[in-house]
Amino acid sequence: MRGYLETMGVTDIAIEAHEKAELEHETYHTIDWQNQNFKIKKLSRVTDLELDLRLGSELSQSLPDNRVKTILATSDDPTQSIKIVSRLPTMNGMANVVDTKTLQRDEAGTLILVQTLVITNERSGATNTTTRYFLPHQGEINRASTAK
């Protein structure tokens, strides 16, 4: 995530804190698909987030200081993958983020979630691609179950 955060303009000390938190705590993603609607829930030491999205419909979120984040989700195969395109203000200008989540099997046949994040800083033109891998989790995720 270092390159992603650097592209956003995050300070070195905040990046180090993020890396430490990711090493010490699990990150959970749950995706609930229902036709053209889906809910994404992410729980981590760094960020907890819940999104209710409809494929093809742009969502605007109000941020502090009258800033706005826009989110658009699309999918060629809603049972296997989702692409979420966001435009958001960062510490050094606007960023475009393409977050692709795909279910696939690894060489051993284990089902995994592959997340590919592509961020582009509009002001500097800097870009970064980060790929992360998550194992499926069954059952409800809540703060009590994520504590170590």
Full 3-state SS string of the chain: CHHHHHHHCCCHHHHHHHHHHHHHCCCEEEEEEECCEEEEEEECCCCCEEEEEECCCCEEEEEHHHEEEEEEEECCCCCCEEEEEEEEEECCEEEEEEEEEEEEECCCCCEEEEEEEEEEECCCCCEEEEEEEECCCCCCCCHHHHCC
Q: Which residue has the higher pLDDT, 11 or 82?
A: 82
pTM, 2 dp: 0.75
The 10s digit of each residue's pLDDT in 78-128 is 778 889 999 988 877 888 999 999 988 989 988 888 999 999 988 888 898
Average pLDDT, the chain: 80
Q: What is the per-residue pLDDT for 58?
A: 94
User: Confidence class of residue 148 from pLDDT cuts 50, 70 and 90?
Assistant: very low
Out of 13-17, 44-48, 104-108, 144-148, the most confident range is: 104-108
The pLDDT assigned to 64 comes to: 82
